[in-house]
């Protein structure tokens, strides 16, 4: 077994460390160079907060950010609702007509290139506009696209939680006289709140970050933050973009840590309640 | 299509509002309706536009069927497809998209498989932390992380500075806007999609098989090749498909990191619509890309269903 321990000890650790370095290098670079005083790309010439203050007066970015937040909030909410419905249908009902088609349609946006989803939605919207005169491209059409993409991700997250959940809970509730909708609201929903929260956060960040769908579905006056960043990034390096990156990384890290702490606390509380319940017996 | 027919029939009879399966039908109907309207119908429209003659028809819905003097005429325009078939540039672009997607998938598998393996064999107490560290970059903007590679790979970027400081090279290497920078960006962006399904698969593996193999005299390497790898087949396929299919049509990474010689179908599609304003051509290219990725997608779905079934048992 010497070979195994050798593999697991330093070769394994080395591989993991290099992998993590690869994953985190760009993030570290963005943060470090957001404090660089020079305009020259990636040449360090001293600490400065210059790009942050320039960011504060960049109206294009600020209005784009507001719009992105709004769309992300809307699409995360609708994605989670639709995704939960889809996940519930796929886990609870093993047999219904068109299940294969349904399941393929739910997961297709996960793998389908975004350029294709974007173009086909756009062509449908343009055709509709020619025939019916609506809808105008803008916030609502971006919302539609992001919901389609987010729903697929939300369905995956919720579905894996539903599969973990033991069937006996729902069956016990039925035995105790719950109707189907009562089982859902009293038993299933409280059990999957964590998954719903994760799915909401995931679809929120997906929407906040999306370039391709937004580019196809936005109209004049609905330029989201990623579209602004993308158009600047195409031209070359822009130190203000580093500052945006550092700020988003800060916010996301705080949110993720807060969420993890919250989960751990809820878990501890539940365990305490469980042990208390056993003690009473 | 059966689900839609079923849906229409139940809508007409209002069975799903009043019947005893009302809740169940609503749960299936709501997402089905949305997906039909936002996913299926757009594709049918794309297919339709790719076959219709845009020059003569003012409306995108006109054109295919026409009625003149009691004769219904079905006009199908395949000129776009013929043009694509005849034009070498499109063929080259399709092939090069497939090539970059395949290279990306292979490198992701090469880096990701050992990575997922060592993650799954780490102490159970640190596994959630390792997992969290893979997921965390996911939560920060993909666009910004790809953009960061521009600064790392530039002629006066971080990597060149480092290589010159170490004395490995004298002159900065030209890495940005080449197929090298494109592949680095693609591998970087899609690596977690390879690691996560592989990890989920490897962590569930029954270690007793390995013990049995060792008892029967297999070396660790033999046990790995003949037991671990075959058992993780569905994880490998799921990971490979999650990397391969979206990277065929990738647009953002080639646009930011790729050079003029890196042909990718996503960019062609984008240009056909936004620069040339040619709807019909853009639609035809889309239809061909969908046909191209339908096969890997079917494989992916098959293995996903198998994996779901495994999880339930």
User: Using a CB-CB distance cutoff of 8 angstroms, which residues of chain A are in contact with residue B121?
Assistant: 8, 12
CB-based contact A98 B301, cutoff 8 Å: no
Is the CB of residue B1 less than 8 Å from the CB of residue B40? no
For position B19, what pLDDT does the model report?
Answer: 57
Beta bridge partners of B265: none
Give the 3-state secondary structure of chain B.
CHHHHHHHHHHHHCHHHHCCCHHHHHHHHHHHHHHHHHHHHHHHHHHHHHHCCCCCCCCCCCCCEEEECCEEEECCCCHHHHHHHHCHHHHHHHHHHHHHHHHHHHHHHHHHHHHHHHHHCCCCCCHHHHHHHHHHHHHCCHHHHHHHHHHHHCCCCHHHHHHHHCCCCCCCCCCCCCHHHHHHHHHHHHHHHHHHHHHHHHCCCCCHHHHHHHHCCCCHHHHHHHHHHHHCHHHHHHHHHHHHHHHHCCCHHHHHHCCCCCCCHHHHHHHHHHCCCCHHHHHHHHHHHHHHHHHHHHHHHHHHHHHHHHHHC
Mutual angle of helices A139-164 and A99-111, in 10-degree steps: 120
- Look up the ipTM and state it: 0.84
For position A232, what pLDDT does the model report?
Answer: 87
Q: Which of B311, B307, B309, B297 is nearest to B244 (CA)?
A: B297
Digit-coded pLDDT (tens) for A216-232: 999 888 899 999 999 88
What spatial distance separates the first Cα and last Cα of chain B, rounded to whole Å?
30
In this model, does residue B313 exceed pLDDT 60?
no
User: Out of A36-50, A95-109, B92-106, B111-125, which region has the weakest mean confidence (pLDDT)?
Assistant: A36-50
The mean pLDDT value for B267-274 works out to 86
Beta bridge partners of B66: B73
Q: How distant is the Cα of A142 from the closest Cα of chain B, in angstroms? A: 12
**Nearest CB partner across the interface for A209, out of B60, B142, B256:** B142
CA atoms within a 13 Å half-sphere pointing along the CA-CB vector of B50: 25
d(CA A175, CA A167): 12
Q: Which of A271, A91, A52, A92 is nearest to A174 (CA)?
A: A92
d(CA B161, CA B153): 10
For position B129, what pLDDT does the model report?
Answer: 86
In this model, does residue B20 exceed pLDDT 70?
no
Q: Which of B139, B100, B109 is nearest to B246 (CA)?
A: B100
Any residues with CB less than 8 A from the CB of B218 and at least 6 apart, and which? B226, B227
A36 DSSP 8-state letter: B
Distance of CA B304 to the CA centre of its chain: 15
Q: How many CB atoms lie within 10 A of CB B82?
A: 11
Length of chain A: 281
The pLDDT-based confidence of B211 (bands split at 50, 70, 90) is confident
CA angle A231, A233, A234 (to 5 degrees): 65
Run of H or E residues at A269? helix A239-280
User: Using a CB-CB distance cutoff of 8 angstroms, which residues of chain B are in contact with residue A135?
Assistant: none
Q: How distant is the Cα of B69 from the closest Cα of chain A, in angstroms? A: 25
User: Using a CB-CB distance cutoff of 8 angstroms, which residues of chain B are in contact with residue A42?
Assistant: 151-152, 154, 156-158, 161
d(CA B28, CA B41): 18
The pair of structure tokens assigned to B115 is 């990575």
In this model, does residue B6 exceed pLDDT 70?
no
The mean pLDDT value for A97-106 works out to 84
d(CA A64, CA B295): 39
Q: How distant is the Cα of A280 from the closest Cα of chain B, in angstroms? A: 31
User: Using a CB-CB distance cutoff of 8 angstroms, which residues of chain A are in contact with residue B161?
Assistant: 42
Q: Which of B127, B283, B256 is nearest to B200 (CA)?
A: B127
The pLDDT-based confidence of B2 (bands split at 50, 70, 90) is low
Digit-coded pLDDT (tens) for A52-71: 888 888 888 889 999 999 99
> What phi and psi, each to the nearest 5 degrees, are found at residue B167?
80, 15
Averaged pLDDT score across all residues of chain A: 84
Omega prior to A135 cis, within 30 of 0: yes
Digit-coded pLDDT (tens) for B88-136: 888 889 999 999 999 999 999 999 999 999 999 888 888 888 988 898 8
- For the purposes of burial, counting CB atoms within 10 Å of the CB of B195, is it exposed (0-12), middle (13-18) or buried (19 or more)? buried
For position A1, what pLDDT does the model report?
Answer: 43
> What phi and psi, each to the nearest 5 degrees, are found at residue A49?
-105, 15
Residue with tokens 């046990």: B223
d(CA B101, CA B107): 10
CB-based contact B43 A120, cutoff 8 Å: yes
The pLDDT-based confidence of A168 (bands split at 50, 70, 90) is confident
- For the purposes of burial, counting CB atoms within 10 Å of the CB of A275, is it exposed (0-12), middle (13-18) or buried (19 or more)? exposed
CB-based contact B151 A33, cutoff 8 Å: yes
d(CA B174, CA B180): 10
What spatial distance separates the first Cα and last Cα of chain A, rounded to whole Å?
48
CB-based contact A97 B2, cutoff 8 Å: yes
d(CA A142, CA A249): 24
CB-based contact A144 B38, cutoff 8 Å: yes
Q: How distant is the Cα of A277 from the closest Cα of chain B, in angstroms? A: 27
Averaged pLDDT score across all residues of chain B: 83
CB-based contact A23 B134, cutoff 8 Å: yes
For position A271, what pLDDT does the model report?
Answer: 82
With a pLDDT cut of 90, the percent of chain B lying above it is 20
A147 DSSP 8-state letter: H
User: Using a CB-CB distance cutoff of 8 angstroms, which residues of chain B are in contact with residue A88?
Assistant: 27
């Amino acid at each position: 077994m010497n070979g195994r321990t050798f593999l697991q000890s330093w070769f394994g650790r080395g591989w993991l460390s290099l992998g993590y370095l690869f994953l985190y290098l760009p993030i570290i670079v963005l943060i470090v160079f957001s404090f660089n005083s020079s305009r020259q790309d990636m040449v360090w010439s001293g600490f400065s907060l210059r790009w942050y203050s320039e960011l504060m007066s960049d109206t294009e970015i600020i209005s784009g950010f507001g719009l992105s937040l709004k769309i992300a909030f809307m699409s995360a909410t609708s994605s989670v609702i639709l995704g939960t419905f889809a996940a519930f249908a796929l886990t609870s009902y093993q047999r219904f007509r068109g299940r294969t088609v349904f399941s393929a349609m739910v997961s297709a946006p996960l793998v389908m290139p975004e350029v294709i989803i974007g173009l086909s939605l756009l062509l449908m919207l343009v055709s509709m506009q020619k025939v019916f005169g609506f809808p105008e491209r803008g916030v609502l059409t971006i919302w539609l696209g992001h919901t389609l993409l987010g729903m697929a991700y939300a369905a995956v997250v919720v579905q894996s939680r539903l599969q973990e959940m033991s069937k006996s809970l729902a069956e016990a509730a039925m035995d105790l006289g719950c109707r189907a909708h009562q089982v859902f609201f009293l038993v299933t929903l409280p059990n999957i709140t964590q998954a719903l929260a994760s799915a909401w956060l995931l679809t929120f960040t997906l929407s906040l970050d999306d370039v391709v769908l937004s580019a196809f579905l936005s109209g004049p006056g609905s330029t989201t933050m990623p579209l602004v960043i993308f158009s600047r990034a195409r031209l070359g390096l822009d130190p203000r973009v580093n500052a945006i990156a550092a700020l988003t990384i800060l916010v996301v890290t705080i949110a993720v840590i807060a969420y993890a702490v919250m989960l751990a606390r809820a878990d501890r509380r539940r365990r305490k309640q469980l042990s208390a319940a056993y003690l009473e017996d | 299509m059966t689900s839609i027919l079923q849906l229409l029939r139940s809508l007409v009879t209002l069975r799903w509002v009043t019947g005893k399966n009302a809740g169940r039908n609503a749960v299936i109907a709501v997402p089905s309706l949305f997906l039909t309207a936002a996913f299926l119908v757009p594709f049918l429209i794309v297919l339709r536009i790719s076959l219709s003659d845009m020059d003569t028809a003012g409306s995108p819905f006109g054109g295919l069927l026409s009625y003149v003097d009691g004769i219904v005429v079905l006009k199908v325009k395949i000129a776009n497809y013929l043009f694509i078939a005849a034009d070498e540039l499109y063929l080259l672009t399709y092939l090069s998209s497939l090539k970059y997607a395949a290279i990306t998938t292979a490198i992701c598998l090469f880096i990701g498989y050992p990575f997922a393996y060592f993650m799954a064999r780490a102490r159970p107490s640190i596994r959630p932390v390792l997992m969290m560290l893979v997921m965390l970059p996911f939560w920060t903007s993909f666009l910004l992380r790809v953009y960061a590679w521009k600064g790392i790979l530039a002629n006066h970027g971080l990597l060149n500075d480092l290589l010159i400081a170490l004395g490995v090279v004298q002159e900065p290497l030209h890495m940005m806007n080449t197929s090298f920078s494109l592949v680095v960006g693609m591998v970087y962006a899609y690596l977690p999609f390879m690691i996560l399904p592989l990890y989920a698969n490897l962590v569930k593996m029954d270690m007793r098989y390995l013990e049995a193999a060792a008892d029967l005299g297999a070396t660790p390497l033999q046990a790995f090749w003949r037991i671990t790898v075959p058992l993780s087949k569905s994880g490998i396929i799921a990971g490979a498909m999650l990397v391969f299919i979206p990277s065929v049509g990738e647009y953002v990474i080639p646009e930011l990191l790729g050079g003029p010689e890196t042909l990718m179908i996503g960019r062609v599609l984008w240009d056909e619509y936004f620069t040339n304003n040619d709807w019909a051509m853009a639609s035809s290219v889309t239809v061909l890309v969908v046909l191209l990725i339908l096969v890997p997608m079917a494989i992916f779905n098959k293995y996903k269903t198998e994996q779901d079934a495994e999880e339930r048992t």
